[in-house]
Each structure stands twice: as structure tokens, then as C-alpha cells.
Structure 1
Amino acid sequence: MSDLDLRKLRYFLVVAEELNYGRAADRLHIAQPVLSRQIAALEGELGATLFERSSRGTRLTETGVALVADARVLLAGAAALQRRARTAGRQGPHVTIGFMPGLIITAVVRDLVERFPGLTVDVQRTGWDTQVDLLLDGTIDASFVRLPVPRRGLRVSEIAREQRVVVLPVGHALLECADITLADLTAELLLQDPEAVPEWRDAVLEVRPHALSLERIGLPSFDSVEEKLEYVAAGRGIVILPASTAAFYTRGDIAIRPISDLAPGTIGLAVPADRSTPVLTALEEIAQRLSASVVSESADTRSA
């Protein structure tokens, strides 16, 4: 029990609430096989079966039912402990703000500090898989996130929208097209979680229903944008990114193009739903007022 993984407990709670691995995976923005492995690993750590799966669906075992209440208490206590530990010994008020790659929060932080003299603000870069987890476990106090994210336990305000682009290897045939649409990209392998681009996922399911499961077998688990772009440059697949993120990672062996029928992505500010402080309230107001400054200038998406 001393090595119990809190992330697995969070995954367990979502499955317990949904009683459906597919819906739970959608909420968590992870692949269903990954979720199944994490639950199996948790059951191995505990030495107990938590769910029973049959043709009639998924249900909690007696052990699983008992674990639900304990897990909620444990996760809430861990979050409170981390918040106390991070602020212990600090002189004056302190807040840690997360942000996704490509976002610039300098102006927001500057305005917040001017409003609260003596406030210490730390910033932390997050990733697709961690932007919510770090909030829920108390590592950060607020975060600029890229939607969609699971909103349970969070207060999320939408602050800006941003064009999304496809990143292709130099020399790709689609670079000759005047316009690139989602339909043009359904034959490509997406080197990221399809849940991050549900419009692409739905377009692929219409024309290649089995592609999302069969073609992704053996696909590496990527921890960073840089890793994905290495595979793009090698011709192994594509990624669809916010324009500011793609511009940040511009390199000579890839090309950035807009997707003509893909709606802009949404940027939000997320804070734990159970936390309301003058600093967080001010942060939410400042983020709305300075929303344009959060999205950096993107690269010319018509250039190779």
C-alpha cells in the first residue's frame, strides 16, 4: 500500500462512476486499453478484483464498492497535504499556475503580482496527460488548459480560441493542395491520442471504423511534442496542434498547414471547484481581460 499510485486511484473512481471503460476513457482522455491496464495494475497492487465485466456490463465488486469511499478520502487528503507542503515556510502568499505548451502567461502573471504586492507566483509547464491531474492532486493552483478536459472537480472558464493546424513532413503530397480538409487527413496515422482531436476521430470512424484500434497497435507512447515531431519528420504520421504550439516547434523538416474545416481550439483557465480565494478570483478576471495575450503569434501556416 505504501507504493499505491494516486493516479490509478483517480482512474478507478472514474470507471466506478461510469461503469463503462469506454466512457471512462473518454472522460480521462486516454485510450481504453491504457485504462484497462492501469486498473489491472491497481488490482494487482491491492491483491483484489475491483470490477466484474460481463456481457451485461461492468459492475463493482464488494471490494470495489468499499474502495470508492476510501479512495475519495485518500485523494482529497493527498491534495490538501500537497497544498500545505508547498506553502509551508513561504513568506507571504503564493500561487502556482500551470500552462500548456505554446501559451504565454507573462502578462497575466505580471498583472496578478501588481494587484497583490508580495505575492509569489510560480509557473509550471503541463502536458495533455497532466494538465488536469496536476490540478486535482494539488501540485498547481490554477492552469491554462487546452480543451476538451474532464471538468469534474474543476471550475473552467473559456478565455480564447485558436486555429489548429496539421504538421506534415516536408515533401508530403498534401502540401500541394490549396486547402487541406479533415477528409484529406483520414488516411493518415495520427501520432497523438485521437481524443485530443475528436473531429478527426469522428471523421476516421465514418470511413475506416477499425482504424483507431488496429492501426494504433504498437504505436509508442509519446511524452512530448518533440517526440511526436521526430516521427512526423520521419514520415511516420501526422499531428494536429494549436497554431501557437506548432509555431513554437518550427523546424526545417516539417511543414505547418491550416485545416480549412476544423474549428478553432479553445483555451480555458481551470481551478479546483472547491477553492475560492481572492487571488484565484482575480486570476480568472485577469485571464478574461488579457485573453489575447495568452495566445502567441503563430507561424505563417502557408510556408513550408
Structure 2
Amino acid sequence: MDVDLRKLRYFVAVAERLHFGRAAEALHIAQPVLSRQIRALEEELKVQLFARTRRATELTPAGEQLLADAVPLLASAEALRRRVTRAARGAGTFTVGFMPGIIVTPAVRALRERHPDLTVEVVRTTWDDQTEVILDGRVDIGYVRLPIDQRGLRVRPLTSEPRVAVLPSGHRLAGKDLIGISDLADEHLLQDPDAVPEWRDIATELRRPGRRRPAPAFHAVEEKLEHVAAGHGIVVLPLSVVAFYTRPDVTYVPVTDLPPNQVCLAWDSARRNPLIGEFAAIATDLHATGPSPAW
């Protein structure tokens, strides 16, 4: 049996929202059409994917399994489409993704020098999409910051760097040479607590029911720094990021008992493009033989 990718996309839209109306709106189709497509998919697979009541829509065990498998499958299909389209245009293009604070110019320049006819492009990524752009084919290789979901990827460690607390310039800890994570126990972290488990485990606000304010959805480092400067809370970032985004109304202090942030190269494990291996070797050599080009 062949599974229709369109039906899979419809299923994922519903499964991620657990609401047929909102999924139909996001897909720009009528809700009855979406419901018919989901029923058709269930008939093809001979399973029930959703348990629907008047109050809620929930995934069945079969639906949970399909969601786990459908997301990477759809990403692979999109990556295939992008690569085929690129090949049809006859353009020799290689694209590198990079996270904030990481400078990729030396490795990009070296690859261009080896392949003068190759167009090498760069794409800035975020914590939210740094692996997504690899798996969906937007970039061929990416500089990523751990932790990431490594499924479907090959990951090569490059280097590590300290993490620092980013504070408003008038903060009580501003100006200190070093602090420990315990000094931040009473602060409000403008991040998912799981991103800084050392803070999560001692945070005062997490031990008091109802005290934790929801973290804003940030899409860029600049947004985080704006909130810090406004006194809404603090963030913990890699040193290179805050050094790159220096501004007078925020400051940073190294935190002695936080593990360093790991910087790695990552690429789709199914790809066989020899340029990926070549670029990975170039980047690795640059980090091993000279000053780190990442900061």
C-alpha cells in the first residue's frame, strides 16, 4: 500500500494541534474536507488515528506512532524535492547553516577556493530550526549548538565554550567576575527551564506553585536581550553569542558551575554528497589548527 504524502501532511497538522478546525485553517482547506481525508487515511491504514469527543481530540496509540514516523518522512520528502529542484536548475550550490555567534567565513572561503564554480551560501538558524533546516534540505550542513535531537543526523563535535548569565546592566550581580548557578536561584529565567537544568533544579519560583511565569516565545537573540534589558528576567547563553551582540544596557557574568555549550557540525545521515564530507574536514581542521573561527 502506498501512503499519500498529502494525507500525511493533513494528519500531522491535526495531530500537532489536536483540533480539526485550527488544522483546517492552517492548511487553508475546509474542515469537512480535512475530516474526509483523515477518515480516508484511517481506512487505508485500517486503524483509528484519533479519539474524538465533544470536548477533545486525542491521538490513539496508532496515531502517536504515525506522528513519530510521519514527521521525519515528510521532512525527507521535502528535502528530496529541494535537491531535485536544485539539480534541475543546473546550479552547483552548497548551503551552510550557522547558529548565532558562530563565524563560518574561513571554512566557507576555503571551500570556495577549492571549487571556484561552486556557489556557497549561508543561512542563519535558531534554536528552533537548526536541525529542521538540515532535514528538510534547506542547508547541506549546519553548525549546531547542543542539545539537539540527533535522529537522522550525523554529528561531529567541533568545540565548546563557556555559558554566561546575561543580566540588565544595573543588576545586583553585574560587575562580578564570576558567579555560581546558586546566585541565580531567585531570578526569573526567560527560557525553558529544561534548557538550563542546573537552574531548574534550584529555582525558587519552580518550588512555589503558581509562581512560574510562562517563558515568551523568542525567535532571535535580539528579542531575548530586549527582554533582559527591560528587566523582565535573565537568560543563559554561550559566551560568543553575547560577545557578538554587545550592547550597553545588558552585561554578562561567567557561571562557574555550568557545563560548556557544545558546538558541532551536523548533516543528514542519508546524504551522500561528497562536498559535505569535504566541508566537514575543512571546518574540523580549522578548529584544530588555529584560533577558533566561531568567536
Fold match (TM-score > 0.5): yes
1:227, distance to aligned residue in structure 2 (A): 1.1
Matched, 1:278 2:256: no
Structure 1 residue 178, shift from structure 2 partner = 4.9
Q: Distance in 2 between matches of 1:264 and 1:112?
A: 29
Distance 1:69 1:267, change over 3 A: closer
Alignment-derived partner of residue 81 in structure 1: 81
Identity of aligned residues (%): 41
Distance 1:104 1:231, change over 3 A: same
Normalization by structure 1: what TM-score? 0.75
**Residue by residue, what CA displacement relative to the aligned partner does 1:55-83 show, whole Å, maximum 9, x if unpaired?**
xxx97355555666666544322221022
**Is 1:6–1:75's contact at 8 Å kept on the other side of the alignment?**
no
- Displacement, 1:86? 3.6
Task: Answer whether contact 1:51 1:64 (CA < 8 A) is retained.
Answer: no
User: 1:224 aligned to 2:220?
Assistant: yes
Please, which runs of 5 or more residues in structure 2 have no aligned partner? 24-33, 39-47, 53-57
Q: Which has the larger radius of gyration?
A: 2
Deviates more, 1:219-228 or 1:152-161: 219-228
* Counterpart-to-counterpart distance in 2, 1:158 and 1:8: 36
| Aligned-pair CA distance for 1:141 | 1.0
Q: CA deviation at 1:118?
A: 1.6
Distance 1:256 1:3 in 2: 48
Aligned-pair Cα RMSD in Å: 3.3
Structure 1, gaps ≥5 residues long: 13-37, 297-304
Q: Under a length normalisation based on structure 2, what TM-score does the superposition of the two structures give?
A: 0.77
Asked if structure 2 preserves the Cα contact closer than 8 Å seen for 1:142 and 1:270, the reply is yes
Q: Does 1:215 align with 2:215?
A: no
Change (3 A) 1:42 1:266: farther
TM-superposed deviation, 1:261: 1.2
Match of 1:245 among 221, 225, 241: 241
Report the counterpart of residue 129 of structure 2 in structure 1: 130
> What is the distance in 2 between the residues matched to 1:124 and 1:183?
37
**Offset from partner CA, 1:133-167 (integer Å, 9 cap, x none):** 11111111110001111000100111011111111
CA distance in 2, matches of 1:215, 1:263: 24
Cα distance in structure 1, aligned partners of 2:6 and 2:221:
30
Give the whole-Å Cα distance in 1 for the aligned partners of 2:209 and 2:85.
42
Aligned counterpart in structure 1 of residue 254 of structure 2, from 234, 240, 258: 258
Shift of 1:194: 2.8
Asked if the contact 1:145–1:267 (Cα under 8 Å) also holds between the matched residues in 2, the reply is: yes
Distance 2:13 2:265 in 1: 21
- Structure 1 residues 169, 51: CA separation in 2 closer, same or farther (over 3 Å shift)? farther
TM-fit CA distance, 1:87: 4.2
In structure 2, the residue matched to 1:288 is 284
User: Does the 8 Å contact 2:188/2:205 carry over to 1?
Assistant: no
Task: Read off the aligned partner of 1:229 and give its amino acid letter.
Answer: L
Cα distance, 1:203 vs structure 2: 3.9
Secondary structure at the counterpart of residue 18 of structure 2: helix
Distance (Å, rounded) in 2 between the aligned partners of 1:276 and 1:2: 24
Is the Cα contact below 8 Å between 1:102 and 1:244 reproduced in 2?
A: yes
What secondary structure, in the 3-state scheme, does the structure 1 residue paired with 2:116 have? Answer: coil
Q: How does 1:1-304 map to 2 (within 5 A)?
A: 9=12, 38-41=16-19, 45=23, 46-47=34-35, 50=49, 60-62=60-62, 73-91=73-91, 93-175=92-174, 177-204=176-203, 209-210=206-207, 214-217=211-214, 219-291=215-287, 292-296=291-295
Look up the SS of the partner of 1:290 in the other structure: helix
Can you list the C-alpha shifts for 1:6-37, whole angstroms capped at 9, x where unaligned? 6994996xxxxxxxxxxxxxxxxxxxxxxxxx
Q: CA deviation at 1:214?
A: 4.8
Q: Mark the CA change 1:183 to 1:69 in structure 2 (over 3 Å): closer, same or farther.
A: closer
